[in-house]
Each structure stands twice: as structure tokens, then as C-alpha cells.
Amino acid sequence: MTDIPASDARARYERIYATLRKRICLLDYPPGRRLREEDLAEEFHTSRTPIRRVLARLEDEGLLWSVHGVGTIVTDIDIEELSQVYRLRIELAELIGKLMPVPPDQAMLNELFEMEARCAELASRLDAREFARLNMDFFQLILRLTANEPLRDISERLYFQTTRIWLKTASRFDHYRDMLRLEVESFQREMRDVMLAIESADLSAVGHVRRAHLTTSFSRLLAEARSDKKADIN
């Protein structure tokens, strides 16, 4: 068997990792779903070794957990349990434009314009999965505004721990589409405010914008979740 160059093996590992993480965060793999190494190895045309490493990494990040005698299971999510994680995300958001800021180049600005267009289209058709995908793309673009690796790593880890919450929680509510419309409108304002800050070369303002919108979104979702729990009790 021909040895695979280390760079190719690493790229394949990262591709599998990113794919599985996105599936979990878009609820393609819902909480409680069992992931089998052999099935994934067959799908990605690889041995079980890189699959095992990817699953271990996702477990370390809180997206999976191993159950003896059962296998690897997608974790459940609850906004109350993850509220501390959310609050830490809020605090870290403000650091993006402060620690080792990276001025955006034209390519990044073009990506932002494309995302703004996607958001405008989304406002007219209200697709929850597309909203989640756009939110992920936007978050990862914003991370590129800092060269501080520890901040990038921690922020990314916390983001992917919490990003499923909206998609899972909001779908339970009767006024789901109204909630989605409100979130999309808020997201449009955030994108416009971020673009204005970038165009003004004020990267520290990007962090302030992110913090403000994240705080509002979290508070809104937490209130809805608590109201829903009270209704279940009553």
C-alpha cells in the first residue's frame, strides 16, 4: 500500500473533521445519533484510524460522547446548561478587533458583500438551515480579523459548542418563523454594522458590534426557552 504524504493525510483529516462538525451543527446528525467508525470510513474512503482521531477531537470539543457498549453518540444541547459558554463567547467577541488585528484585504471585503447578498435573499425566503450555514460562514470570516491564535482557537471551540442551540430550540416553538424572521433581521443589521466598521478601518468597533448582537440574540433565545419550560410545567 502506497504511503500517503503527511500533508495530504492532514488535509484529509481536516476535511473529514470539518464535514462532521458541520453535519452536527446543522442537525444532520441530531442529538442522540450514533456515529459508526466503519460507516464513516467507508463514506470517506479511508481507514478507521483518521476517523477515530476525528471522533475523539469532536468528543473533546463536547459535540460527541462515547458510551461504553453503545458507541459514539452526538451530544444533546440545552441553552441553560451552556449559558456560561455563551456568556464567555460574549466576552471574547469584543477582543476580536483588539488583539493582533488583521486589516481585511479586498478578497475578504468581497466575501462580506457576497454574504450580505445571501442574507438579503434569506430575508425573503426564511430558510433556517441556510441561516445557520450563513452564520457559520460569517463567524469564521470574522475570526480572520485577528492573528491571535489562542483567541481564534477558543472562540471557534465555544462557537461550535453553542451554534446548534438556535436551530434545535427555536424549531419547537409555534412562532418559529416569526423568531427566524427576527433573527435574520438582526443578523442583517449586524452585518451592515460590521461592514461599516471595517470600511471605517475601526476593527475595535467590530468586536463591540459582535458583542452587542450576540448578547441580544442570547437573551432573546434564553427568554423563549425559559418561557417554553414554564409552559411545559404548567
How does pLDDT run across 150-163, given as a tens digit for each residue? Answer: 999 999 999 999 99
**pLDDT given for residue 7 in this prediction:** 76
Structurally, what CATH architecture does the domain formed by 6-74 represent? Orthogonal Bundle (1.10)
Is 228 within 8 Å of 172 (Cβ atoms)? yes
**pLDDT given for residue 223 in this prediction:** 85
Q: Tell me: pLDDT of 102 over 90.
A: yes
**pLDDT given for residue 231 in this prediction:** 55
Q: Tell me: pLDDT of 197 over 80.
A: yes
Domains 6-74 and 83-233 fall in the same CATH topology:
no
At residue 169 the predicted structure's pLDDT band, cuts being 50, 70 and 90, is: confident
At residue 97 the predicted structure's pLDDT band, cuts being 50, 70 and 90, is: confident
At residue 232 the predicted structure's pLDDT band, cuts being 50, 70 and 90, is: low
The whole-angstrom separation of Cα 71 and Cα 37 is 9
Q: Tell me: pLDDT of 2 over 60.
A: no
**pLDDT given for residue 215 in this prediction:** 94
**pLDDT given for residue 143 in this prediction:** 95
**pLDDT given for residue 175 in this prediction:** 78
Q: Is the pTM of this model over 0.85?
A: yes
CATH 3.40.50.12780 holds for 83-233: no
The whole-angstrom separation of Cα 227 and Cα 157 is 28
The whole-angstrom separation of Cα 41 and Cα 118 is 34
Average model confidence (pLDDT) across the chain: 90
**pLDDT given for residue 9 in this prediction:** 87
The whole-angstrom separation of Cα 210 and Cα 217 is 11
**pLDDT given for residue 1 in this prediction:** 41
**pLDDT given for residue 37 in this prediction:** 94
- CB under 8 Å to 202, separation ≥6 — which residues? 97
Q: Tell me: pLDDT of 142 over 50.
A: yes
**pLDDT given for residue 230 in this prediction:** 61
Domain extents in the chain = 6-74, 83-233
Is 116 within 8 Å of 192 (Cβ atoms)? yes
Identify the residue whose cell numbers are 442537525: 27
Q: Tell me: pLDDT of 27 over 90.
A: yes
